[in-house]
């Protein structure tokens, strides 16, 4: 851990800076794979699956028999946990449903919005160092609630051409049955362009490694929308002298075990608490199965000591973390100062893991400082808002002259005329 005590504001820029990767070669590799998938469809996808996932595939789609078999391989305890998480995620996202209101902006002028689901969406579910079956629930549940007609799910198979059974079980619980054994860049290409087997979608959701994220960004330029730009996962914990050091250490390590590029930031208002958290982190680290990965992450983590919670909150807002944990005495009051964060966890008992799995909020969140401008995935992510307006003769009389005046001053005579002829027809 890197401990920084009472940094001056002039130093904050370096504290909140994320590592920058040289992506020039990465971009070229991704572009080549995408172009090949676009041109050769299933054949290219199968070739890349053999090359990257060591899986020789006859069919890309997961069969009903494979879905049925997966159910027998998942423990009843995990099935119950998945069902509970699905219920909470569904309850939280149903509460976000949009209700349209008609507004009379002027006499005879009525405007309103209609929420329309995106018809075809693609979900990418990583299956590498950790098969993220929880992400299936996070992405598929709001898609079903929104009413998306076609939900396509891609996830990499193992070398025996099998998909992790918990991923398939989560898909079944969430109501997704169009699943393909495709990982990496080739999965993003297949969903963006469509192949003989994989339908083309209109928007792609889901996390992934730097290759997947680069592929999403490249296809978003011309071919398909994506949920958000993203980088490695991250957590910021603000702790005062009322925190439980063991809890905070556990939260930091739960982030650190994601991967060696994960970001861990502790902002403490008490040196005693900071040192206790450091000691507890070292102690808990030794017991982790993914110790080596977490240990590497911690080498570039930052433990920052500041004067008070106001300063801590200002630093956190400058960082704009994906996850923000407020392990402080009056977390609810401090949370009012949050302006930049993906998801916020209040109090000693609200661990990031709760939001990652089963509290109900979505864990697909903006990273790499993008929380300054992006929201996490929510029900609106799967909808478009279409606006409507209706004008009566009285409406033309209400706003007609203003429309003509503005159009004329923008030197758009055809625009002016479109309203002018209506004004002439509605005059007594």
Give me the catalytic one of 322, 352, 368, 370: 322
Starting at the earlier edge strand, list the strands of the sheet with 323-327.
Answer: 2-5, 302-305, 263-268, 234-239, 323-327, 343-346
Please tell me whether 97 is known to bind a ligand. no
233 is in an annotated binding site: yes
Biggest CA-to-CA distance, the chain: 86
Active-site entry in 36, 93, 323, 370: 323
Q: For residues 230 and 95, give the distance between their C-alpha atoms in angstroms, rounded to a whole number.
A: 26
Rounded-to-integer distance, Cα 239 and Cα 308, Å: 10
Spatial separation of the C-alpha atoms in residues 281 and 266, rounded to whole Å: 12
Q: Is 124 annotated as a binding residue?
A: yes
Is 311 a known active-site residue?
A: no
209 annotated binding-site participant: yes
How far apart CA 38 and CA 36 sit, in angstroms, is 5
The answer to whether the annotation marks 356 as part of a ligand binding site is: yes
Chain CA centroid to CA 352, Å = 15
* Residue 410 annotated as part of some ligand binding site: yes
Is 22 part of any known ligand binding site? no
Catalytic (active site) residue 322: yes
**What positions carry a catalytic annotation?**
322-323
- Please give the annotated binding residues for NAD(+), written as ranges: 124, 186, 209
- Please give the annotated binding residues for substrate, written as ranges: 233, 255, 258, 323, 356, 410, 415
- Please give the annotated binding residues for Zn(2+), written as ranges: 255, 258, 356, 415
- Please give the annotated binding residues, written as ranges: 124, 186, 209, 233, 255, 258, 323, 356, 410, 415
């Amino acid at each position: 851990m890197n401990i920084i005590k009472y940094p001056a504001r002039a130093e904050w820029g370096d504290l909140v800076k994320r590592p920058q990767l040289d992506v020039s070669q990465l971009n070229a590799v991704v572009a080549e794979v995408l172009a090949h998938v676009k041109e050769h469809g299933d054949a290219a996808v199968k070739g890349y699956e053999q090359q990257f996932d060591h899986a020789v595939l006859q069919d890309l789609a997961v069969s009903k028999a494979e879905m049925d078999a997966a159910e027998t391989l998942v423990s009843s305890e995990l099935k119950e946990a998945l069902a509970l998480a699905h219920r909470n995620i569904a309850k939280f996202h149903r509460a976000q449903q949009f209700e349209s209101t008609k507004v009379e902006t002027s006499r005879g002028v009525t405007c309103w919005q209609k929420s329309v689901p995106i018809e075809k969406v693609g979900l990418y579910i990583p299956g590498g160092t950790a098969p993220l079956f929880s992400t299936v629930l996070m992405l598929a549940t709001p898609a079903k609630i929104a009413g998306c007609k076609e939900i396509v799910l891609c996830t990499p198979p193992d070398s025996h051409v099998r998909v992790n059974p918990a991923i398939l079980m989560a898909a079944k619980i969430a109501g997704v049955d169009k699943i393909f054994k495709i990982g990496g860049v080739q999965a993003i290409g297949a969903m963006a362009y469509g192949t003989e087997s994989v339908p083309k979608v209109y928007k792609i959701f889901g996390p992934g490694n730097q290759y997947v994220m680069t592929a999403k960004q490249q296809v978003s330029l011309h071919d398909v929308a994506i949920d958000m730009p993203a980088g490695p996962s991250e957590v910021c914990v603000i702790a005062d002298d009322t925190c439980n050091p063991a809890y905070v250490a556990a939260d930091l390590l739960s982030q650190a075990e994601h991967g060696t590029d994960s970001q861990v930031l502790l902002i403490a208002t008490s040196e005693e608490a900071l040192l206790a958290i450091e000691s507890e982190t070292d102690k808990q680290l030794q017991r982790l199965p993914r110790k080596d990965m977490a240990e590497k992450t911690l080498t570039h983590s930052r433990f920052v000591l500041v004067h008070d919670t106001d300063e801590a909150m200002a630093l956190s807002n400058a960082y704009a973390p994906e996850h923000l944990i407020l392990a402080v005495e009056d977390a609810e009051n401090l949370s009012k100062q949050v302006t930049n964060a993906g998801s916020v966890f209040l109090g000693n008992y609200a661990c990031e893991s709760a939001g990652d799995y089963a509290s109900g909020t979505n864990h697909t969140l903006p990273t790499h400082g993008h929380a300054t401008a992006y929201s996490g995935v929510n029900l609106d992510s799967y909808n478009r808002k279409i606006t409507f307006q209706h004008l009566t003769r009285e409406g033309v009389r209400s706003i007609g002259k203003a429309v003509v005046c503005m159009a004329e001053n923008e030197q758009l005579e055809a625009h002016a005329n479109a309203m002018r002829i209506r004004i002439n027809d509605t005059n007594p």
